[in-house]
């Protein structure tokens, strides 16, 4: 994984179910992981491996949705030579509501 998020960055993410009362469109998106046209937008974190967030595979917004996914799974994805999941750096990613 390129630009793996630090423990400090991960600790800033609300824990799973902590934002349950907030509508999906108003949940704040914290780290953003991507590979090509595939995006994982994180809104909650279990503290070890499991995230909850919005996932869009291969740019297919019609089939995109909210789901659980693991950090270990993201780290294990490799395509060909040198292509792996990247975490957008904090200096480039601004925390924002999901509706944007």
24: in domain: no
39: in domain: yes
Mind listing the pLDDT tens digit for each residue in 7-61?
999 999 999 999 999 999 999 999 999 999 999 999 999 998 999 999 999 999 9
Quickly list DSSP for 2-15: BTPPPHHHHHTSPB
Torsion of CA 46, 8, 95, 70, to 10 degrees: -30
Beta-carbon count within 10 A of 24 CB: 13
65: in domain: yes
41: in domain: yes
Question: Taking residues 86-91, what's their average pLDDT?
Answer: 92
* Domain that includes residue 52, residue range: 7-19+29-97
This prediction's pTM: 0.92
Number of domains observed in the structure of the chain:
1
Contact 33, 84 (CB under 8 A): no
Mind listing the pLDDT tens digit for each residue in 67-80?
999 999 999 998 88
pLDDT at 99 over 80: yes
């Amino acid at each position: 994984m390129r630009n793996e998020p630090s423990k400090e960055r991960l600790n800033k993410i609300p824990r799973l179910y902590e934002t349950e009362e907030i509508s999906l469109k108003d949940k704040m998106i914290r780290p953003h992981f991507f590979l090509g046209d595939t995006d994982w937008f994180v809104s909650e974190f279990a503290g070890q491996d499991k995230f909850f967030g919005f996932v869009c595979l291969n740019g297919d917004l019609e089939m995109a949705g909210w789901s659980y996914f693991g950090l270990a799974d993201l780290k294990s994805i490799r395509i060909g030579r040198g292509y792996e999941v990247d975490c957008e750096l904090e200096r480039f990613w601004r925390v924002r509501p999901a509706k944007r």
